[in-house]
Amino acid sequence: MLSVKNHSVAYGQSTIIEGLNLDVDKNEIVAVVGRNGMGKSTLMRSLVGMTASKGGEVSLDGTDLSKLKSFERVRAGIGFVPQGRMIFPTLTVKENIETGLAASGEKTIPEDLYELFPVLKEMQHRRGGNLSGGQQQQLAIARALATNPKVLLLDEPTEGIQPNIIQELGRTLKRIRDERNLSIVVSEQVLSFVMDTADRILVIEKGDIVHEESRQEADQEKIASYLAV
Ligand SMILES: Nc1ncnc2c1ncn2[C@@H]1O[C@H](COP(=O)(O)OP(=O)(O)OP(=O)(O)O)[C@@H](O)[C@H]1O
C-alpha cells in the first residue's frame, strides 16, 4: 500500500529525517507518536510533498510518488489533514469541501461524506471560521476525503480538541477505514487516543522510527516513556 523507503528530509543544512522506512497496509491505522519537535509534521508534510524530500522513495500501490508535486500526490491518492486543520475560514463549509473535489474529478459533494459528518450538512452554508474546533476538524477530514484518497494522513488531529470529541474522532477514523477500505497514518502525542484507534504504533525520535508495536501487544508504559519530557 503506502511504502516509504530510505526517506530523508532536511531544512537547509539541518537533516531532520534520515533513512526512515515505513510500510502501511490496506485497512490499517498506523499511529506515529513522538514528542514535540521529533519530526512528525516534517514526515507527514514530506509524504504529501508539501515539504521537499532529500532522498528516498515514497510509493502508493507500487506507483512511485517521489518526483511528484503535492497536488499530483493528492491526485494519486494521498489525502492530508494538516496540523491546525487549515480550513479556509472565509469560505463556507460546502465550499471548503468542494476544494477537495478537484482531485477526485467529482462535480458535487458525495452524500456519504455528509452521512459521515451530518453536522457539516446542517452547517453547509456557514463560514468555516465560525465552526467549533471539533467541527473544523471534521471539515478538514471531509475536505481530505473529498479527494477520494487511498491513504489518509492526519497530523496531530487531537490538538486543541476536547476529550469527548477526541473519542468521537477515534470512532470516526475507524469507521472511515472500515467503510472506505483505506489506510490511515496519524501523528499523535495523545496516548489514550492512539491506544483506542491505532492498529500499529510507531515511535519517532529525532526523525527515525525507534520502536514499533501492534496495538494488541503494545506496552503502554514503554510508549508513554518515549512521550515523557
Ligand atoms: N520550516 C522549518 N525550517 C527549519 N527547521 C524546521 C522547520 N520546520 C520544523 N523544523 C525543525 O524540525 C524539527 C522537527 O519538527 P516537526 O515540526 O516536524 O516536529 P513535530 O514532531 O511535528 O513537532 P510538533 O509536535 O511540535 O509539531 C524541529 O527541530 C523543528 O525545529
Atom from ligand 1 closest to the CA of residue 41: 22
- Residue 220's pLDDT is what? 87
CB contact at 8 A, 2 and 151: yes
pLDDT in tens, 41-91: 999 999 999 999 999 999 999 999 999 999 999 999 999 999 999 999 999
Domain count within the chain: 1
Long-range contacts of 116-121 (CB under 8 A, 24+ apart): 116/142, 116/145, 116/172, 116/175, 116/176, 116/179, 117/141, 117/142, 117/172, 120/93
Cα of 106 vs centre of ligand 1, distance in Å, is 35
Evaluate whether residue 39 is within a structural domain: yes
Evaluate whether residue 137 is within a structural domain: no
- For residue 94 the three cell numbers come to 460546502
Atom from ligand 1 closest to the CA of residue 187: 22
Evaluate whether residue 49 is within a structural domain: yes
Evaluate whether residue 179 is within a structural domain: yes
- Residue 55's pLDDT is what? 94
Give DSSP secondary structure letters for 135-155.
Answer: HHHHHHHHHHHTT--SEEEEE
Cα of 83 vs centre of ligand 1, distance in Å, is 12
Evaluate whether residue 113 is within a structural domain: no
Evaluate whether residue 143 is within a structural domain: no
Domain that holds residue 76: 2-85+151-227
> Over 90: is that where the pLDDT of 104 sits?
no
Taking alpha carbons only, the member of 227, 218, 228, 224 closest to residue 197 is 218
Average pLDDT of the segment spanning 114-141: 96
CATH number at residue 36: 3.40.50.300
- The answer for 77, left when phi > 0, alpha when psi is -120 to 50, beta otherwise, is left
Evaluate whether residue 142 is within a structural domain: no
Alpha helices (runs of H) in the chain, residue ranges in sequence order: 40-47, 70-76, 93-98, 101-104, 111-116, 118-122, 133-145, 163-180, 191-197, 220-227
Is the ipTM value over 0.85, yes or no?
Answer: yes
Average pLDDT of the segment spanning 99-104: 90
Residue ranges around ligand 1 (CB below 6 Å): 11, 14, 16, 34, 36-42, 83
For residue 189, what pLDDT band results from cuts at 50, 70 and 90? Answer: very high
Kindly state the greatest CA–CA separation across the chain: 48
Evaluate whether residue 96 is within a structural domain: no
Q: Give the closest residue (by CA) to ligand 1 atom 5.
A: 11
Cα of 37 vs centre of ligand 1, distance in Å, is 5
Q: Give the closest residue (by CA) to ligand 1 atom 8.
A: 42
